[in-house]
A and B are shown apart, each in its own frame.
Chain A
Amino acid sequence: MSEKSEKKSFKQKMMSGQIWKSIWRHDFEDTGVNRGKVLRSNVFLHLHPIRVPKHAMKIRFTWCMGGITFFAFLVECITGILLMFYYHPTVDMAYLDMKYLMFDVPFGQILRNMHRWGAHLMVFSVMLHMLRVFLTASYKPPREFNWVVGVLLLTLTLLMSFTGYLLPWDQLAFWAITVGTNMGAATPFLGVEGPFSIATKFNDVRFVLLGGTTVGANALLRFYVLHVIAVPVVVCVFMAIHFWRIRKDGGISRPL
């Protein structure tokens, strides 16, 4: 190749240089081997198989809902990190930070909107994903356990959304979380108002959730920590298992 190098275009030079080759671990000639290498030698693409049944690429089969859920999660992470620069999880500051975001921070309003609507989208798409997986019987052996992981992820998605709901510290948030966590006090055995209670209001489920008996500063801090780090980390772990198991359990479901 080097003999003919006088006529090489810039693109060709770049692509045969050491830097380029060190980044991409394959050639670009359109061969089956390279089509495989593109996927296997790229950390972001490597969850894909080399080949996939035709029906798996059809939107009318998958509805793309698992992918959209994952994408919504990424949007939530990015917008969430940006929002964290402007938000203090304290009773004095939280609501003011909302107003600050809405009226003063450049693009603050759309940032908050995208985080909020993205969360709705994620809950919605994960619900539809579950419906699709059920209707195509994709939970049947050997995929049973991945369905279980999926149900956990659905629950965790709802938890992420719920913990985020308190953070604006407005009336909607405060009373929604009050209603929600009062359920904790009604837990059988472990809630102070539940049947067969063995707890007091200072050590029952609601107290653990709120760090107090009512929604206050401790609850705001707890929900913040759960929302921005604790639950998302658990979600990441389960997502890794979920995606990995799709491949290990024989890829996307297909007719027998």
Chain B
Amino acid sequence: MAEEITEKKPVKKTVPKKEKNPYVWPDLPFMELMCMIVVMLVLILWSLGMDAPLGEIATPSRTENPAKAPWYFIGLQEILVYFDPWYAGVVVPSIIIVGLMAIPYLDNNPKGVGEYNFSARKFAWINFLVGYAMWMVAIVVGQFMRGPSWFFFWPWEPWDPNIHHAEVLLKNIPFATGLISLVVYFALFYLLPIIFRTKIYKQLDFTRYFVLMTLMALMYAVPIKMVMRQVFHIRYVLVTPWFNI
């Protein structure tokens, strides 16, 4: 009824009155119903066409090789190649969860709400997408390109451990060099945006800036460590009596 009244009112000449939002009922619940039906159909067809895997009965004395985690955790299993379990399996996922939670408190750029706006949020988009892509790539590599003993195989190669290149000898970086390079690595993240007076540095207060750069340094350390191991055959950057990184 309220609508009829507004319709009869003469439209203001200067600014056309903002159109009222459309009613939710019945359009949105109808679309939700359609969406449910489509998802249900997809799920039924999927379930008719493909059986859930079931291996042989669990036998603790017979190791499965390769023993793979479910696909959504396989990214973590993949970075076990590059980091020790305490870091790859515990610290990394904890940092990811805390880091994700921290995003809204670190990003104080008010632009882009409610729209896909890359140009207003380049920094946020690029870094988030890089992290997201790393997750996806790790999943794909772990799921489809790792065979027995977690050896790398292209998807078209048979899982034959004998065809595989001989294990390369890995070396560690000496303690002093390792410590210094780690300090330099983090210092670069903290200092470069300041030196180049980037927007990020100007926009953020000290705490936000410090936390953000720490998280970024930690995130980009993962692919860097991968390259160091694959290309330069470095196992640990820092060796201490208590832990190795």
Contact = CB atoms under 8 A, between A and B. Distances in A.
The answer to whether A and B interact is: yes
A187 interface: yes
B242 A195 contact: yes
Contact of A186 (B86, B100, B124): B86
B32 interface: yes
A136 B116 contact: yes
A57 interface: yes
A117 B43 contact: yes
A172 B114 contact: no
A195 B57 contact: no
Contact of B60 (A155, A215, A256): A215
A111 B86 CA distance: 38
Contact of A32 (B23, B39, B115): B23
A253 B114 contact: yes
B29 A45 contact: yes
Contact of A161 (B56, B60, B72, B113): B72
Nearest to A54: B22
A170 to B, nearest CB: 4
A117 to B, nearest CB: 5
Given A169-B58, A255-B115, A144 B105 contact: yes
Contacts of A54: 21-22
Interface string A106-120: 000110111111101
Interface in B10-62: 20-29, 31-32, 35-36, 39-40, 43-44, 46-48, 50-60, 62
Interface stretch (A13-21, A175-183, A222-230, A233-241): A175-183
Contacts of A180: 69, 73
Contacts of B21: 51-54
A88 interface: no
B104 interface: yes
A117 B47 contact: yes
A173 B58 CA distance: 8
Contacts of B243: 188, 195-196
A188 B48 contact: no
Contact of A117 (B50, B132, B242): B50
Give the one of A50, A147, A172 with max B CB within 10 A: A172
Q: Quick one: which of B63, B77, B103 has the most chain A CB within 10 A? A: B103
A178 B68 CA distance: 10
Contact of B84 (A57, A115, A186): A186
A162 to B, nearest CB: 6
B52 A171 contact: no
B22 A52 contact: yes
A256 B3 CA distance: 25
B19 to A, nearest CB: 9
A194 B86 contact: yes
B29 A48 contact: yes
Nearest to B32: A67
Interface residues of B, number: 76
Nearest to B47: A113
A97 to B, nearest CB: 11
Interface string B76-120: 110000001110111100000100110111010011111111000
Contacts of A162: 70, 73
Contacts of B128: 134
A242 interface: no
A164 to B, nearest CB: 9
A191 B86 contact: yes
B64 A174 contact: yes
Nearest to A109: B51
Contacts of B112: 136-137, 140
B31 A57 contact: yes
A144 B72 contact: no
Contact of A148 (B20, B39, B76, B104): B104
B233 interface: no
Given A114-B44, A171-B64, A193 B132 contact: no
Interface in A136-161: 136-141, 143-145, 147-148, 151-152, 154-155, 158, 161
B2 interface: yes
Contacts of A113: 46-48, 50-52
A168 interface: yes
Nearest to A253: B114
Interface of B: 1-3, 20-29, 31-32, 35-36, 39-40, 43-44, 46-48, 50-60, 62-64, 67-73, 76-77, 84-86, 88-91, 97, 100-101, 103-105, 107, 110-117, 121, 124-125, 128, 132, 242-243
